[in-house]
């Protein structure tokens, strides 16, 4: 029997709103971080550069407040159900910082891979930026025969390209041109995405 | 994305298909960005299937991409078909009890693939396709069939179907728009089908 891994981007894919602007709202930088997110998604700034910049800005928000924001973030209800029903074959693959996202682990109960950061000298420093393509390339060694990846931005492109099937998802906003070009499918509603995933 | 009667053929087609099913896959190649944007605004329930090789492949390749993963028979329609109100429902109804049903329409288009038919105990059946020999009916580019019927061919859909003849067929009222002359005829039909626009 073919074993399929489902890899989901988090921000704007599983989550029904962008996470970093929501965190930034805690310190009044929502619009600035939203702009930074947009130019990064469009590929005008490298994801690694952008993440370091965003960590520098948002590192000022106490981690407890970040966790409260993340815990309350709405998820796409259809995708949340899909992941919950298949927790042993779903992965949240996010370039975002794992240290911010621990409340998501409780909600989705499936493995999450994320970028790594640590607090040093009073600042939040990014230690490792996740390469989503590299993660997908490693899935066969975990017993998966094929991979279906879902994402919406420039940093999802390596994951969408490496997957057996890539889906550019426009649930929160339109997927970027680069994500569309790396994908086999473009879907705009969670319900339709889940039906497609279940049948591929 | 051509408009007839003030609305795109694509939107009219999607809305006709929505009356039959809530699973709609639109295969996109040429000007995909425009179509994706159109669907993001007006038809968010549609799954868009990309065919990056559209320049070097035929419609049958798009049909297969669109049907990937779908179990059982699927309804295939070319994206440039203007279908008369209610005609698709009658066609779907006629397909009940058949594994495949081929859509035919009175020959009128500029690049017709003519269909030879016979009437028998099992109703109307297609017995041959030919571009050169005129017949009263032409292949309507509408088909209900399991995707495996389309395997093994890279040229034209009717060539894949030819291997399975005779096949049950039913007439469907539509106007296919391949040329400027087809479009002019489609405008006339649209004015009859949707007199209020």
- Give the whole-angstrom CA distance, residue A9 versus residue A175: 12
Which of B69, B70, B71 is the mutation pick for testing A, counting most A CBs within 10 A?
B69
- Give the whole-angstrom CA distance, residue A69 versus residue A180: 30
All residues of chain A having their beta carbon less than 8 Å from the beta carbon of residue B48 are 185-187
Tens of pLDDT, residues A113-130: 999 999 887 788 999 999
The most confident of the ranges A53-62, A182-191, B111-120, B153-162 is A182-191
Distance to chain A for B172, nearest Cα, Å:
29
Three-state SS at B68: coil
- Cβ distance B49 to A184 less than 8 Å, yes or no, reads yes
Distance to chain B for A37, nearest Cα, Å:
21
All residues of chain A having their beta carbon less than 8 Å from the beta carbon of residue B39 are 188
All residues of chain B having their beta carbon less than 8 Å from the beta carbon of residue A185 are 47-50
- Give the whole-angstrom CA distance, residue A194 versus residue B77: 24
Tell me the pTM: 0.92
Nearest CA in chain A to B72: A199
Question: Are A160 and A17 spatial neighbours (Cβ–Cβ below 8 Å)?
Answer: no
- Give the whole-angstrom CA distance, residue A167 versus residue A159: 10
ipTM of the complex: 0.91
Question: Are A192 and B45 spatial neighbours (Cβ–Cβ below 8 Å)?
Answer: yes
Q: Which residues contact B100 (CB under 8 A, 6 or more apart)?
A: B73, B143, B144, B145, B146, B149, B161, B164, B167, B168
Share of chain B above pLDDT 70, in %: 99
Higher-confidence residue: B183 or A132? A132
Nearest to A188 among B40, B52, B69 (CB): B40
Tens of pLDDT, residues A37-96: 888 877 788 888 988 988 888 888 889 999 999 999 999 999 999 999 999 999 999 999
All residues of chain B having their beta carbon less than 8 Å from the beta carbon of residue A196 are 47, 69
């Amino acid at each position: 029997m073919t074993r399929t891994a489902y890899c989901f981007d988090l921000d704007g894919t599983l989550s029904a709103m962008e996470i970093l602007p929501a965190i930034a709202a805690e310190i009044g930088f929502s619009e600035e971080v939203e702009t930074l997110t947009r130019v990064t998604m469009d590929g005008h700034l490298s994801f690694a550069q952008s993440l370091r910049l965003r960590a520098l800005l948002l590192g000022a928000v106490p981690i407890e407040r970040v966790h409260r924001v993340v815990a309350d973030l709405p998820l796409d209800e259809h995708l949340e159900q899909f992941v919950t029903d298949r927790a042993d074959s779903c992965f949240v693959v996010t370039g975002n910082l794992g240290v911010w996202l621990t409340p998501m682990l409780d909600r989705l109960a499936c493995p999450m891979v994320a970028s790594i950061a640590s607090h040093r000298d009073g600042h939040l420093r990014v230690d490792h930026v996740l390469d989503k393509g590299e993660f997908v390339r490693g899935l066969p060694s975990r017993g998966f025969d094929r991979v279906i990846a879902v994402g919406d931005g420039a940093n999802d492109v390596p994951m969408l390209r490496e997957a057996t099937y890539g889906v550019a998802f426009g649930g929160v906003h339109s997927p970027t041109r680069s994500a569309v070009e790396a994908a086999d499918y473009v879907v705009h509603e969670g319900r339709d995405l889940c039906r497609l995933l279940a049948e591929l | 994305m051509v408009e007839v009667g003030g609305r795109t053929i694509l939107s009219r087609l999607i809305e006709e298909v929505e009356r039959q099913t809530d699973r709609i896959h639109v295969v996109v190649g040429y000007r995909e960005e425009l179509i994706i944007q159109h669907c993001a605004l007006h038809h968010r329930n549609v799954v868009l299937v990309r065919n990056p090789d559209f320049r070097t492949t035929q419609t049958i390749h798009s049909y297969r991409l669109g049907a990937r993963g779908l179990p059982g028979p699927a309804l295939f329609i070319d994206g440039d078909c203007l279908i008369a109100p209610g005609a698709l429902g009658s066609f779907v109804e006629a397909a009940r009890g058949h594994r495949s049903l081929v859509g035919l329409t009175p020959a009128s288009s500029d690049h017709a693939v003519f269909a030879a038919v016979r009437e028998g105990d099992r109703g109307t059946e297609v017995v041959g396709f030919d571009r050169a020999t005129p017949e009263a009916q032409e292949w309507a580019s509408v088909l209900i069939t399991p995707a495996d019927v389309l395997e093994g061919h890279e040229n034209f859909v009717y060539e894949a179907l030819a291997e399975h003849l005779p096949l049950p067929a039913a007439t469907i009222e539509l106007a296919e728009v391949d040329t400027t002359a087809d479009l002019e005829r489609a405008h006339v039909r649209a004015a009859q089908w949707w007199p209020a626009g």
